[in-house]
Amino acid sequence: MNSRMINDRRNFIKSAIGISAGILTARPLSGKTFSPFMLPLSKKSQTPRIRFSVIGVNHGHIYGMVNTVIRGGGELVAFHAKEDDLASEFIKRFPQAKRVQSEAEILNDGSIQLVLSSIIPNERAQLGIRVMEHGKDYLVDKPGITSLSQLTAVRKVQKKTKRIFSIAYGRFDNKAMLKAGELVQKGAIGKVVQTIGLGPHRVSPGSRQEWFFDKRYYGGIICDLGIHQFDQFLYFTGSTSGKILASQVANVHHQQYKEFEDFGDALVQGNHGSGYIRVDWFTPDGLKTWGDGRMTILGTDGYIEIRPNIDIAGRVGDNHLFLVDKKETQYIDCKNLDSPYDRQLMGDFMNRTETAMTQEHCFLATELTLLAQKNAIKMGKI
């Protein structure tokens, strides 16, 4: 690997520490299911109750994932990373973790109950299978699975071992999503008819690792980014089944990367509502955050709009929610809400429960995402 790639990789990890994209699996609207990954550890950490380790630190989301587990009561004891530069960054952040020379040292350690990973995406499912076969739970960055064949294999092993296989979904990284879930559950907008989820991102080529631009590794844009919106669709509509009506992908503006996709969208129909999803890599440098994501939840008696990252030319900060019902239009600032997700997550690992989210929801969100990616029509030139 040349010096430019090493520098790009290091810069990416540094920039990504503060950008957490989400985590795990959740029961649709059956409980409060959220945690902002980057909360200060000093006020949220609990007495360690689970020993955990990390295998693979190829994406900066791993820092937020580790912080979440520590806050919930996990003790980080070891990590394995093949890349010296990435390992060096990880040690700076978590000096308490011992670097081991092989993943086998972690998998064969009976005192370790949980493994976290942000290894290169197409390697995550197989790693998860090995983790579960060694009697441990698995918490992995999104996309945790990049093909339908991988999903079939993961489901089989998870069913056999009864271990938890959880994927990093972005819904858990924003308090406005939590508040919206509570409002929907209380019937604030009536019955949910449709969700519209928009997931724009800034591409920042110089900060990305080489695999980022190759579909063989990241699975395609809907697989990589759209998985968040599919999770949100299931969560807000309460759907437990669904089918893809249409989907498309394109490489509109990054022809120098032949295996890259910078635009994708999909239309999904569930048993309790429908959803439209659009993702892209076109966030301009003039925006003060990595993407102006939006979620609109249409109900029979009103609607909710979530602006999780920024209210452009409006209120400062993030976690914005707008509620329109039969009486009025409300703005709700959600940034100071409690975030029980880390505690629920740790409880699930310890008690074999599903309070953060059900395993089936996790797999269904991934399945719909992978079907949309696989069946997507390639758009022509624009």
Per residue in 41-64, pLDDT tens?
Answer: 444 556 678 999 999 999 999 999
Tokens of 207: 């900060």
pLDDT of 13 > 50? The answer is no
The pLDDT score that the predictor gives to residue 207 is 85
b/e per residue 149-167 (b: at least 16 CB within 10 A): ebbebbbebbeebebbbbb
- Phi and psi of 275, rounded to 5°? -150, 145
The pLDDT score that the predictor gives to residue 47 is 66
- Residue 34: which of 319, 267, 227, 241 has the closest Cα? 319
Listed range (5-14, 48-57, 316-325) with the worst mean pLDDT: 5-14
Task: Say if residues 38 and 64 touch (Cβ distance below 8 Å).
Answer: yes
Average pLDDT over every residue of 237-259: 96
Listed range (35-44, 124-133, 155-164) with the worst mean pLDDT: 35-44
| Residue that wins the pLDDT comparison between 79 and 207 | 79
Q: How far apart are CA 89 and CA 74, in angstroms?
A: 21
Percent of the chain predicted with pLDDT > 90:
80
What's the pLDDT tens digit per position in 65-77? Answer: 999 999 999 999 9
The pLDDT score that the predictor gives to residue 37 is 36
Listed range (35-44, 125-134, 281-290) with the worst mean pLDDT: 35-44
pLDDT of 2 > 50? The answer is no
pLDDT of 335 > 60? The answer is yes
pLDDT of 149 > 60? The answer is yes
Q: How far apart are CA 339 and CA 292, in angstroms?
A: 22
The pLDDT score that the predictor gives to residue 349 is 95
Average pLDDT over every residue of 236-247: 98
Give residues with Cβ within 8 angstroms of 255, minimum separation 6. Answer: none
Listed range (42-51, 206-215, 242-251, 276-285) with the worst mean pLDDT: 42-51
Average pLDDT over every residue of 144-165: 98
- Counting other chains too, the contacts that 205-209 makes at CB distance below 8 Å and 24 or more residues apart are 206/8, 206/11, 207/8, 207/11, 207/12, 207/15, 208/8, 208/12, 209/5, 209/8, 209/9, 209/12, 209/58
The pLDDT score that the predictor gives to residue 380 is 78
Complete domains list, the chain, with CATH: 3-170 (3.40.50.720), 173-340+370-378 (3.30.360.10)
pLDDT of 26 > 80? The answer is no
What's the pLDDT tens digit per position in 253-295? Answer: 999 999 999 999 999 999 999 999 999 999 999 999 999 999 9
- Residue 349: which of 42, 31, 52, 47 has the closest Cα? 52
* Average pLDDT of the chain, as a whole number: 89
The pLDDT score that the predictor gives to residue 313 is 85
pLDDT of 339 > 90? The answer is no
The pLDDT score that the predictor gives to residue 168 is 83
pLDDT of 306 > 70? The answer is yes
Average pLDDT over every residue of 317-327: 95
What's the pLDDT tens digit per position in 166-186? Answer: 998 988 878 999 999 999 999
Average pLDDT over every residue of 101-117: 98
The pLDDT score that the predictor gives to residue 45 is 53
pLDDT of 354 > 90? The answer is yes
Of the pLDDT bands very low, low, confident and very high (cuts 50, 70, 90), residue 206 is confident
The pLDDT score that the predictor gives to residue 46 is 60
Average pLDDT over every residue of 109-137: 98
Percent of the chain predicted with pLDDT > 70:
88
Tokens of 100: 């081991």
Tokens of 311: 């209210």
